[in-house]
Amino acid sequence: MTDSATLGELLARGDASASAIRAPGRDALTYDGLRALGATTLGVLNAAGIGRNDRIAIVLPNGPEMATAFVSIAACATAAPLNPAYKADEFEFYLSDLSAKAVIVLDGDKSPVIEAAKKLQIPLIPLTPQPNSPAGAFSLAPIAAPPAANSGMAGTDDTALILHTSGTTSRPKIVPLSQSNVCASARNISGWLNLETEDCCLNVMPLFHIHGLIAAVLSSLFAGAGVACTPGFNALQFFSWIDEI
């Protein structure tokens, strides 16, 4: 396979019918299905006035929808995953620091990010999982806004992902990662792990953290392999997940 410099190119690597996203107890989402989900997400976001380099906070629980939302959003805008366990004042800080243009939140959730977003007048975009569809399938509620000025898929130098430092010495600082940066990291990890198309990674790491996002999700997708997304580490279920996946 050739290298990929954008997430759009990375998503194009997998065979159409191969399993891309898996989850315990769910049918797998194929690469064709993941690409279709990305195209739908692009349309919804562009229609909502959100385009390349616009920062979108994602506040979702661990699982396949978090993985597919991250990949779909980062391919056409800038994804900023946040720890769903934050309190209202923490969300307010991060949303303000990000200058977030919108917040993706689970439909019906009571997360304190809703209060913080409303206080900062940041639009909320509810995400509805599709539990009877393959793993990671979701729909986004449309919001009315002028069309995006910078529409379409992201380019090589556009920002794909924004994370914050841990803030051990002062307030957390923004760390922007370009499309080419995250793709290079995915390529390097995939190569180091010698991932093949027949492989599947079982991810139990948080998907608001770079290790879960890149070392598990993107490295697997770079190889055209599958990644199984769980709600998080559970010692009682871990080995049954391995057997199932």
CATH number, residue 211: 3.40.50.12780
pLDDT of residue 244: 83
- Percent over 90 (pLDDT), the chain: 85
4, 35 contact by CB (below 8 A): no
Residue 211 is assigned to a structural domain of this protein: yes
pLDDT exceeds cutoff 90 at 156: yes
Q: Is 41 exposed, middle or buried (0-12, 13-18, 19+ CB in 10 A)?
A: buried
Task: Read off the pLDDT of each residue in 59-78 and give the average, rounded to a whole number.
Answer: 98
Residue 192 is assigned to a structural domain of this protein: yes
pLDDT tens digits for range 74-98: 999 999 999 999 999 999 999 999 9
Confidence band for 61, pLDDT divided at 50, 70 and 90: very high
Strand residues in the chain grouped as ranges (E)? 19-22, 29-30, 55-59, 78-81, 102-106, 124-129, 138-140, 159-164, 174-178, 200-203, 226-229
Helix, strand, coil percentages for the chain (3-state, nearest 5): 35, 20, 45
For residue 61, what are the domain limits?
Answer: 7-244
pLDDT exceeds cutoff 60 at 1: no
Confidence band for 221, pLDDT divided at 50, 70 and 90: very high
Task: Read off the pLDDT of each residue in 31-36 and give the average, rounded to a whole number.
Answer: 98
What values do phi and psi take at 51, rounded to 5?
-135, -160
Contacts of 117 (CB under 8 A, 6+ apart): 57, 91, 95, 100, 103, 105, 123, 124
Residue 51 is assigned to a structural domain of this protein: yes
pLDDT of residue 36: 98
Confidence band for 99, pLDDT divided at 50, 70 and 90: very high
83, 213 contact by CB (below 8 A): no
Residue the block writes with tokens 């191969």? 18
Residue 1 is assigned to a structural domain of this protein: no
pLDDT tens digits for range 162-181: 999 877 776 889 999 999 99
pLDDT exceeds cutoff 80 at 4: yes
Contacts of 144 (CB under 8 A, 6+ apart): 48
Number of domains observed in the structure of the chain? 1
pLDDT of residue 170: 67
Residue 2 is assigned to a structural domain of this protein: no
Residue 133 is assigned to a structural domain of this protein: yes
Q: CA 189: distance to chain centroid? A: 18
User: pTM of the entire structure?
Assistant: 0.94
pLDDT tens digits for range 100-132: 999 999 999 999 999 999 999 999 999 999 999
Confidence band for 2, pLDDT divided at 50, 70 and 90: low
